[in-house]
Amino acid sequence: MRISILGAVLALSSVVTSFPTGFQDQRVLGESDHLRLISVGEDHAEWLPESAKLELRRSGVKFMDITGYEDLGALNAERFVAAAVKFPKEPKYQEEVGPVLKNLTTKNMKANLEIFTHFHNRYYKSENGAASGKWLYEMVNKTASADPKIKVSQFHHPWGQHSVIAHIPGKKSNKTVVIGAHQDSANLFLPSILSAPGADDDGSGTVTTLEAFRALIAQGFKPDNNVEFHWYSAEEGGLLGSQAVFAEYEKQHRDVIAMLQQDMTGYNAKTIANGGPDAVGVITDFVHPGLTDFIKTIITEYCDIGFTETKCGYACSDHASASKAGYPSAFVIESTFDDSNKNIHTTEDTIDKLSFEHMFQHAKLTAAFAVELSHL
Contact assessment for residue 175 and residue 94, using Cβ atoms and an 8 Å cutoff:
no
For the chain, domains (ranges, CATH) are 2-70 (no CATH), 77-373 (3.40.630.10)
Active-site residue, selected from the candidate residues 157, 319, 345, 358: 345
Active-site residue, selected from the candidate residues 235, 250, 334, 372: 235
Cα 340–320–70 angle (5° rounding)? 140
Active-site residue, selected from the candidate residues 55, 184, 202, 236: 236
Q: Residue 263 catalytic? A: yes
pLDDT digits (tens, 9 = 90+) for 290-334: 999 999 999 999 999 999 999 999 999 999 999 999 999 999 999
Q: How far is CA 322 from CA 5, 102, 154, 356, in A?
A: 26, 31, 18, 28
Q: How far apart are CA 270 and CA 353, in angstroms?
A: 11
* Collapsed DSSP state (helix, strand, coil) of residue 108: helix
Active-site residue, selected from the candidate residues 120, 182, 288, 362: 182
The whole-model pTM stands at 0.92
Q: Residue 345 catalytic? A: yes
Taking residues 68-75, what's their average pLDDT? 94
**DSSP one-letter code for 258:** E
Q: Residue 211 catalytic? A: no
Active-site residue, selected from the candidate residues 202, 263, 318, 372: 263
Nearest partner of 33 among 50, 17, 52, judged by Cα: 50
Number of H helices, E strands in the chain: 12, 11
Q: Residue 201 catalytic? A: yes
Cα-Cα end-to-end distance for the chain: 41
Strands 329-333 and 255-262: parallel
Q: How far apart are CA 214 and CA 143, in angstroms?
A: 6
Q: Residue 95 catalytic? A: no
Q: State the pLDDT confidence band at 28, using cuts at 50, 70 and 90.
A: very low
